Amino acid sequence: MRRYASYVRAPLAAVVSFVAFQAVSLAAEAVPAEREEETLLAELMMARTGAAALLVAPSLEEADLALAVHLRRNLGLELHICFPRGNFREGRGAGPGEEGAEYAREEAAARLVGARIWRLDIPSPPEECPGEDARARLWREKAAGELVRAIRRVAPAIIVVCRASGRGDGAGDAPASAAIEAFDAATDPAKFPTPGGREGFRAWEVSKLYVRTFDPSPADLQIETNRPGPGQGLGPARIAQEARRLLTGKDAGAPAASGISSLAWYRRLKSRVEKTDSSEMTDGLERIPDEGFPGSPPAGEGKYPPGSVMAAIAAIGAPGRDRVEAILAALVNTRDLHERLSVAAVPPVMRAALDRRLAHLGEAARIALGLRLHVRCDPPLIAPGGAARVEIRFHNGGSLPVAIKGISLPHAPDLKVAPVELPPGPLEPGGSFAAAVDVRADGNATPAKGDGVLRVALTIAVEHEKYRARLGMSAPAGLEIGRDNR
């Protein structure tokens, strides 16, 4: 089981599932620091690795945020940030009560670096407190249990503890000690069990656990976090500086230059990888071969197999290469590879990686095809028993006909949604589709706690002559249930 902890083999589903695809759509919804070409390349790199990184962050400094950008854009790791406070849920929206402004700043910074936020139901450790006392205050067992739940939900290959200072105080020691315990406990289904669903993975093996240090002497790894990737605009340090400004609400000063070196040091606390780190956190992580399309001729020397993710990556910006065809071929190849597997035999430890490959390929296809989905609610906040109108607009900005096979508004347990009529035929390039649907909240509906309770999801069929692909895309409706103050 250890050998499969971080990597992809093949897709879990023949069609891009809404659950998996929506997860990536949320991550790629708004990455304002990236051009579309950069986002497309990042999605394909994440599809190739199928691995994720989880940052445990009492606070995020510029070095931590630069590392986050580096992990996603340069190493192809799906990015998650875990804050040890609040309820364990994915942070969407402004958050409840007085925490709203802080939640909104965290969300803005996460979007900028291309990450998803998770909040754990444990307090942040006090900054001015000896390590042992801080660990006691943190309720170590509860902290470890919450981290285990996060690990099993996110299924990361790598965990990084982001320390708030260089001192040996609770701000760094308490989260690191809890992460060490969670690293081991997450593999034991008898420890901190959770009910079914993705959060109910009974075991997950993280490959590596790091903590940031402030001195190269005790470090195992030195990373140049400001290294720009191919075809990228803003460097990681510049993006990190802006993200830090969003987090704190303070001016970050003069812009960081992309060519300026930015070093960060990390100590490896735990590892299930035998190879010693040399230059990257991904060193020693086993890569699954990127297979080509079944039945296709072997690739020539120096070329990538047809239908592979690497072939799709190589098609970006290459003259005479059809990147849409390359990406659709990789997506169809992923589906066909799945059909040669027995789904029941796929262990949970591989399932998240398989979902990720399929999901990121679907997101890359959506970007390459130029598909756009916009949703507007009027009003955006309704009281129990109230109603709203949701307007849906879909545009096909690509070069291929696209058929909408289904429209749904999931994740709305307290809302009654009228059916949406589908367009009668495929939308030709440049075509658009608009629809409106009435939504009513139950009289006993529970007010939302800062999370948008409604998303619009579409099932799309691409009419390509060689690769007929089916995928999903979604957009937040932003509709929430408020209190009835009448």
Tens digit of each residue's pLDDT (9 = 90 or more) over 37-49: 888 999 999 999 9
Could you write out the three-class secondary structure of the chain? CHHHCCCCCCCCCCCCCHHHHHHHHHHHCCCCCCCHHHHHHHHHHHHHHCCEEEEECCCCCHHHHHHHHHHHHCCCCEEEEEECCCCCEECCCCCCHHHHHHHHHHHHHHHHHCCEEEECCCCCCCCCCEHHHHHHHCCHHHHHHHHHHHHHHHCCCEEEECCCCCCCEHHHHHHHHHHHHHHHHCCCCCCCCCCCCHHHCCCCCCCEEEEEECCCCCCCEEEECCCCCCCCCCCHHHHHHHHHHHHHCCCCCCCCCCCCCCEEEEEEEEECCCCCCCCCCCCCCCCCCCCCCCCCCCCCCCCCCCCCHHHHHHCCCCCCCCHHHHHHHHHHHHHHHHCCCCHHHCCHHHHHHHHHHHHHHHHHHHHHHCEEEEEEEECCEECCCCEEEEEEEEEECCCCCEEEEEEECCCCCCEEECCCCCCCCCECCCCEEEEEEEEEECCCCCCCCCCCCCEEEEEEEECCCCCCEEEEEEEECCCEECCCCC
In this model, does residue 435 exceed pLDDT 50? yes
- Choose among 398, 403, 459: nearest CA to 429: 398
Mean pLDDT of the chain: 78
- CA separation for the pair 256, 237 (Å, rounded): 6
In this prediction, residue 214 carries a pLDDT of 83
In this prediction, residue 5 carries a pLDDT of 35
pLDDT level of residue 395 (50, 70, 90 thresholds): very high
- CA separation for the pair 355, 191 (Å, rounded): 25
- CA separation for the pair 215, 319 (Å, rounded): 46
Q: Which residues of 359-389 are buried (b: 16+ CB within 10 A; e: fewer)?
A: bbbbbbbbbbbbbebebebeeeebbbebebe
pLDDT level of residue 2 (50, 70, 90 thresholds): very low
**Which of 68-77, 107-116, 269-278 shows the lowest per-residue confidence on average (mean pLDDT)?**
269-278
- CA separation for the pair 457, 30 (Å, rounded): 17
361 or 241, which is more confident? 361
**Which of 49-63, 146-160, 184-198, 405-419 shows the lowest per-residue confidence on average (mean pLDDT)?**
184-198
- Decide if 414 contacts 442 (C-beta within 8 A): yes
In this prediction, residue 137 carries a pLDDT of 58
182 or 299, which is more confident? 182
In this prediction, residue 259 carries a pLDDT of 55
Give the chain's domains with CATH numbers.
1-32+288-369 (no CATH), 52-271 (3.40.50.10320), 371-481 (2.60.40.10)
pLDDT tens for 326-337 read 999 999 888 777
- CA separation for the pair 216, 222 (Å, rounded): 7
What average pLDDT score do residues 266-271 get?
Answer: 91
405 or 36, which is more confident? 405
What average pLDDT score do residues 16-29 get?
Answer: 33
pLDDT level of residue 133 (50, 70, 90 thresholds): low
- Decide if 260 contacts 122 (C-beta within 8 A): no
Question: Has this prediction a pTM greater than 0.85?
Answer: no
In this prediction, residue 219 carries a pLDDT of 82
Cis? peptide before 379, omega within 30° of 0 = yes
Across 299-308, 397-406, 476-485, the highest mean pLDDT is recorded for 397-406
**Which of 65-74, 191-200, 275-284, 460-469 shows the lowest per-residue confidence on average (mean pLDDT)?**
191-200
In this prediction, residue 21 carries a pLDDT of 31
In this model, does residue 365 exceed pLDDT 70? yes
pLDDT level of residue 448 (50, 70, 90 thresholds): low
- Rg of the chain, C-alpha, whole Å: 23
In this model, does residue 221 exceed pLDDT 50? yes
**Which of 50-54, 97-101, 181-185 shows the lowest per-residue confidence on average (mean pLDDT)?**
97-101
In this prediction, residue 324 carries a pLDDT of 93
- CA separation for the pair 272, 278 (Å, rounded): 16
Instruction: Give, in order, the Cα–Cα distances in Å from 34 to each of 43, 234, 276.
Output: 12, 8, 33
In this model, does residue 6 exceed pLDDT 90? no
- CA separation for the pair 242, 254 (Å, rounded): 10
35 or 341, which is more confident? 35
At 303, list the tokens.
């070329």
In this prediction, residue 232 carries a pLDDT of 60
- CA separation for the pair 148, 171 (Å, rounded): 20
Which residues are 267's β-sheet partners?
Answer: 211
In this model, does residue 22 exceed pLDDT 50? no
390 or 352, which is more confident? 390
In this prediction, residue 449 carries a pLDDT of 56
- Decide if 207 contacts 280 (C-beta within 8 A): no
**Which residues have CB under 8 Å from 190's CB, separation 6+?**
none
pLDDT level of residue 292 (50, 70, 90 thresholds): confident
pLDDT level of residue 76 (50, 70, 90 thresholds): very high
What average pLDDT score do residues 262-271 get?
Answer: 88
pLDDT level of residue 153 (50, 70, 90 thresholds): confident
In this prediction, residue 231 carries a pLDDT of 56
Q: What angle do CA 301, 305, 311 make, to 5 degrees?
A: 105
What average pLDDT score do residues 374-381 get?
Answer: 89
